[in-house]
Amino acid sequence: MATEGEDKASRLSLASAVVIVALAFSANAFFNHTALGLDLKSHGDVYVLGFFFPLGVILPAAHIGWVSSVRLASARWLGAQVGWRDVTAVAVALAGGGLLAAGALAPQLREPGSLAAAHRLFALLLVASTAEVLLFLGALGNAAQLAAGAIGRWRAGLVTLVVSSVTFGFFHLTYPAPWNTMGRCLGLCLVWVPVSLIFLFSRSLVAAVVLNNVLAVVGFVQNDLGAALFGQCICGSQSDHTEESRDAAEMCGSASGQIRPDDLGHAVVLIL
């Protein structure tokens, strides 16, 4: 049974996690839905350095470190300690995610060069996927599970699953189109369920990041956004691309078939 001090610490953990997530909502909405934010975002690195790193990586990681330092939970349970369990969980995430991606993207992956392009997209999305996992599982998910610990392990896990999935889904209201519709947010709540489950069963944030990133690649390609990075090799003809995809493709030079590697990160920023 939790002591009064542990109850107080778990409540503080949950409150601080909610504040971190609220700051992330506000900052992302600023970058994607205000004139000043959009102007700053157009400079590429400003979005990554002003949002993803401080609010998506540094603050959640600091929160996890604090929870571990006050011994509210172990680093292993929080997903911050890497070991052989993570190797197994990552292998499961790659195998399961790879099978899902191979089935969902079978038509696109038949195109020449598409597999290498998908691998590059996977690498480019890692920062965003890491930030999402640290925010919604590492900080908020762990805090919710600790706060709900009195109702039992499995029920607390279910609370974590629901809280994390719903928050992740509706976080996309702070992104630009095509992500910020109610239907898309509800769908993304379901997409987050397997990411939450692999973390809850393995306690591996690394495995959750890997699975989340695979699902992000699938989502980008299926929404015709991968074309902004890799021209026609994944998403078909230029005439079929979304407006966001065409704009980023022109910036990358993909309309003429020449991708400038130094601009790929900027293209990801444009379509996130």
The pTM of the full predicted model, rounded to 2 decimals, is: 0.84
Q: Are residue 40 and residue 162 in the same domain, yes or no?
A: yes
Write out the residue range of the structural domain in which residue 252 sits: 224-272
The pLDDT score that the predictor gives to residue 261 is 42
Statement to judge: residues 173 and 79 lie in one domain: yes
CB 165 within 8 A of CB 189: yes
Residues 188, 242, single domain; the answer is no
Q: What is the pLDDT of residue 1?
A: 54
Claim to verify: residue 132 and residue 203 sit in the same structural domain: yes
End position of a domain, from candidates 190, 206, 223: 223
What is the pLDDT tens value at each position of the chain, 272 positions in all?
567 667 888 999 999 999 999 999 999 999 999 999 999 998 878 998 999 999 999 999 999 999 999 989 999 999 999 999 999 999 999 999 989 888 888 877 777 777 777 888 888 899 999 999 999 999 999 999 999 988 999 999 999 999 999 999 999 999 988 889 999 999 999 999 999 999 999 999 999 999 999 999 888 888 766 554 544 444 443 444 444 444 444 434 443 334 344 444 554 555 56
Query: pLDDT at position 251, please?
Result: 39
